[in-house]
Amino acid sequence: MGGMLLEFSENANVFFKKCILVILTVMTHEEAALRAAKLRDEIWRLNKAYFIENREEASEDVRDALKQELIKLEKEFPDIITSDSPTQRVGAPLDGRLPKVTHLTPKESLSDAFSHEELVDWIDQMERALGNEYDAFTFVSELKIDGLNITLIYQHTNDHRYELLRAVTRGNGIEGEDVTHTVKTIESVPLSFVLKRDAAPQLIEVSGEVYLPKAALKQLNAGLPEGEQFANPRNAAAGSLRQLDPQVAASRNLAIFCYELGRETTDALGIETQKELMECIQEMGIPINTELRIMHSLRDIEAMYEDFQKKRGSLPYDIDGLVIKLNDKKMQRDLGSTAKAPRWARAYKFPAEQKTAIILDIQLQVGRTGAITPVAHLSPTQLAGTTVTRATLHNADEIARLDVRIGDTVVVQKAGDIIPEVVNVMVNLRPEGSRAFHFPTHCPSCNTALVRPDGEAVHRCPSDNCSAVRQEKIEHLVSRYAFNIEGFGKETIEELLSQGLVSDAADIFFLTYDDLINLPLFKEKKTENVLTAIDNARHVPLDRFLFALGIRHIGRETAEILARRLRWPTYPAITMAAIATTLQQQSFHDLSAIDGIGEKVATSIIDWIAEDDNRALLHKFENAGVVAMQAEDSHAKQVFQGKTFVLTGTLPTLSREEAKKMIKDRGGKVSSSVSKKTDYLLLGEDPGSKFADAQKLGTTLLDEAAFLQMVG
């Protein structure tokens, strides 16, 4: 469970925070114009770095988020739109090194959709625009390849033969850069072809996406010194195409998928559907992505979206969503385009892995070990499929490093795909009058002077009587992976502490019917259920009990190692007295010699059991009838002896706990992060960042079927 949040009011500029809230809800015209100007400057600065200088100062997710904010502002205040706004143009500025070429037809960009509701709105708009002329829509759904947009121009020579005339980047949509010399090095791009159609237009215009396969990026980066390596395949593809020396591009194994023909080409060839268009491109010998599908409903589109959101990590190229197009070309022509985007298509993007948000406040979280963690309260933002309103700032050093302030626009991501964290501050968007955040010197709960032990980045409250620490310790004890006692929410524990019914975690086992029945929301049935849950929890697995004690550095994995490796005097039921005696008998050398324990954990255990209050807590558990149960020894073959596993994603039939038990019963270890020491990554559906880490390190990948075969 999360720590207790407490506002440190002496650091907060209350007036400034109120101003931020007002700006977020009711912006004046002047404020909107100022914010829009800052957004325009920042977006173009980031675009220049990314598209021209091949440097990624901010991810595409972040650039998208800033652009969406600007679109929202300009929609609310149309008169603040400027002709050079990023919302009014396509692509990026040209850098002047390569020849500029005017496009045969202006290049458009796609409007984005980030949710099912936005797709519904899009379809409603098309239905209203087309009236009753069409009964139903048929769509073509394609993968949205994360690469560099390129237009290929083929010129008719004789009979039905066409030769590559030039290749042009999208550029600003009106003119692009001539990169024919590097595109010719892409082996999958035909330098000529025979058109198997009756018509023979003078020029054929084909658009597509040049990309760098993931394997090619890995090979490329392996040959580059650290600091000069490419951040992602898209950057590498862009940098490769813009090389003046075609031999450099030739060495990088670029590839291409094409997906569109120019309007004049389409009309000249008499193409009536998007599917026919794709078949025509394929007939020319030009590569298309064959994962395209015909869709008749939003349900079909959502199924493909969810399917490839799970598969994207295992594809040999990067994708960031789907592209949905109306199949009927007449419908496309009737709908037309806005100033820069077709009305008949949408880019349905996967949930952002990074997003921007505004910091509304910085509050302090007090954990069960007294650790003080600063937490940023954010303007709500959709991140990796969920709405995020809070993000960790870790500690005082991190706040100082970032110079994060209330009112800042920040980049947020999910650390390990779970916990939101602030990555950096967009200083160019900082409002006037912001003030630096100064870390407190006293606990926000009990006002005890904070301490920062040598060698640690975390400040702690040292008081044993801190109500916030006591609250967190009890919440930890009843949590899922400890005693797992249902019925004790945060508010209930706060009420128990405030009424003096509990003072520590062991007091939970002394609660009576009369104690609970008068609590808010407690009626007879709930009271009886909670008392039954408490009674059932008196016999708890040993590893869960050790974890429930809340000893610093003792997580679930470490608690399980201690439960398996220490010599417990009784079996299978272990009394609290036996636990106290066993822990007291351990020397620093004995503990630190256990594989997976280490010096920090050894010191923490010795320090914990040396405190009178902690030994008294064990005695209190004893009086409450709590007994820790040791698990039976496994008789399975030790096929994973000495092997380390990491798990990611959702397995088809096994739960994570079941898979971990199978590994440990057979002598293996389970780690939470991928490293050079990892032997196997057990890969389920919708994997997180661990999958990418494993690919970089060359870790052996296992699906559930292969894993179960190894288990035997």
Q: Is residue 30 part of a domain?
A: yes
In a domain, 508, yes or no: yes
Give the per-residue pLDDT at 682.
93
- My answer on whether 132 and 84 are in the same domain is no
Asked which of 597, 629, 661 is the last residue of a domain, the reply is: 629
Q: Are 50 and 239 in contact (CB under 8 A)?
A: no
The CATH number of whichever domain residue 697 belongs to comes to 3.40.50.10190
Does residue 81 share a domain with residue 198?
no
Q: Does residue 567 lie in a domain region?
A: yes
Residue 281 lies in a domain: yes
Domain end: 570, 601, 629, which one? 629
| pLDDT score of 54 | 61
Position 413: which residue type?
Q
The reply to whether 614 and 665 lie within a common domain is no
Size of the chain in residues: 712
For residues 328 and 231, state if they share a domain.
yes
Distance of CA 168 to the CA centre of its chain: 34
Distance of CA 138 to the CA centre of its chain: 32
Q: Is residue 430 part of a domain?
A: no
Domain coverage including residue 124: 115-349
Q: Are residues 174 and 243 in the same domain?
A: yes
Per-residue pLDDT reduced to its tens digit, 210-225: 999 988 888 888 888 7
Give yes or no: residues 621 and 652 share one domain: no
pTM greater than the 0.95 cutoff = no
Residues 254 and 155 grouped into a single domain? yes
The contacts of residue 414 (CB under 8 Å, 6+ apart) are 353, 383, 384, 388, 420, 421
Which residue is catalytic, options 67, 144, 214, 355?
144
**Residues 691 and 669 grouped into a single domain:** yes
Residue 370 lies in a domain: no
> Is residue 144 annotated as part of the catalytic site, yes or no?
yes
- Lookup: tokens for 180: 């024919």
The reply to whether 622 and 651 lie within a common domain is no
Query: Is there a single domain that holds both residue 204 and residue 59?
Result: no
CATH number for 143: 3.30.470.30
Mean pLDDT by 10 residues, the chain (712 residues): 47 47 66 92 82 73 89 91 74 66 89 89 89 78 93 91 92 88 88 88 95 88 78 81 82 91 93 95 92 92 91 87 95 87 92 86 91 93 81 92 94 74 92 90 93 88 90 93 91 92 94 93 92 94 94 88 86 90 93 85 94 94 94 76 89 88 87 88 82 85 91 82
Q: Is 418 helix (H, G, I), strand (E, B) or coil?
A: coil
Residue 465 is encoded by which pair of tokens? 């009587």
The CATH number assigned to the domain holding 478 equals: 1.10.150.20
Q: Which residue has the tokens 């496309």?
A: 332
CA distances 384 to 61, 309, 330, Å, are 10, 11, 37
> Is 533 in the same domain as 544?
no
In this structure, is residue 94 part of a structural domain?
no
**Last-in-domain residue among 629, 653, 685:** 629
Residues 253 and 337 in one domain: yes
CB 151 within 8 A of CB 206: yes
Number of domains in the chain: 5
Inside any domain, residue 635: no
